[in-house]
Amino acid sequence: MTSPDRNRPNPPASIVFRPARPTDGAALWQLVRATGTLEANSAYAYVLLATDFADTCLVAERGGALVGAVIGYHPPREPDTAFVWQVGVRPDCQGQGLGLRLLRHWQALPAQAGRRWVTATVAEDNAASQALFRRFAHALGAGCQVHPHFPAELFPAGHAAEPLYRIGPIPHAALVPG
Ligand SMILES: CC(C)(COP(=O)(O)OP(=O)(O)OC[C@H]1O[C@@H](n2cnc3c(N)ncnc32)[C@H](O)[C@@H]1OP(=O)(O)O)[C@@H](O)C(=O)NCCC(=O)NCCS
């Protein structure tokens, strides 16, 4: 007898969002390299971030594999702000709303309590990232201001300028992901 389920495709595994832990470091490094756009730092840097900054780093897993991440920290001189250092989605998972979900879950982490502003620098030639942060601000019902921040001259030749995106103030009602 044939099982009625045999010809049905398996439903895609759901995505789990959770704070990072030290054992994520190597996978974070691989994810960043796989995006092809993000500037990859050393594997050591990602182990360090997933350890000392674990409360402000978020990973998304599907079927036990890392499919996206937000690496962030709290700027020492800005007690009301959380900074997104890198956000990346595995190439085969891009364009499906995961980037926005990542930022919303990251912004709702317990460690972000009281942080009414989110900042990030976005390279002038990164259209996907620009669209993502504007979409994130819209989803929160918050403003999004863009200011000059890191001009191209601060970087080695060939690196685009990185203006600062400042999103907020984040309404209290927006603190839980939709
Ligand atoms: C930037 C990135 C994280 C976006 O993730 P994603 O899952 O593809 O984004 P989403 O599907 O959630 O889309 C969010 C918004 O950005 C827009 N967007 C996504 N990719 C885009 C692209 N290539 N060009 C223009 N807009 C784009 C979407 O249309 C959506 O806006 P909308 O809802 O108004 O239509 C992903 O493209 C990525 O990992 N890129 C490489 C790494 C990188 O550049 N990171 C950012 C610098 S730190």
Nearest CA to ligand 1 atom 18: 128
Provide the domain count of the chain.
1
Give the pLDDT confidence score for residue 2 in this predicted structure.
Answer: 42
Residue 21 lies in a domain: yes
32 CA → ligand 1 middle, Å = 15
Rounded CA separation 170/140 (Å)? 7
41 CA → ligand 1 middle, Å = 21
Nearest CA to ligand 1 atom 7: 99
Rounded CA separation 48/42 (Å)? 10
Cβ(86) to ligand 1 under 6 A?
Answer: yes
Q: What is the CATH number of the domain that holds 146?
A: 3.40.630.30
Q: For residue 100, report the phi and psi dihedrals to the nearest 5 degrees.
A: -65, -45
Residue 1 lies in a domain: no
Mutate to test the pocket of ligand 1, among 106, 132, 135, 144 (most ligand atoms within 8 A of CB): 132
Residue 5 lies in a domain: no
Q: Which among 167, 164, 178 is positioned nearest to 100, based on CA atoms?
A: 178
Cβ(100) to ligand 1 under 6 A?
Answer: yes
Residue 54 lies in a domain: yes
Structure tokens at 39: 């500037």
Range of 100's domain?
15-174
Q: Within a 13 Å sphere around the CA of 173, how many CA atoms are in the beta-carbon half?
A: 3
Per-residue pLDDT of the chain (178 residues; tens, 9 = 90+): 444 455 666 666 799 999 999 999 999 999 999 999 999 999 999 999 999 999 999 999 999 999 999 999 999 999 999 999 999 999 999 999 999 999 999 999 999 999 999 999 999 999 999 999 999 999 999 999 999 999 999 999 999 999 999 999 998 876 566 5
Residue 73 lies in a domain: yes
Buried b / exposed e along 38-51 (16+ C-beta atoms within 10 A): bebbeeeebbebbe
Q: CB atoms < 10 A from the CB of 37, how many?
A: 13
Q: Which among 68, 63, 60, 71 is positioned nearest to 35, based on CA atoms?
A: 68
Residue 7 lies in a domain: no
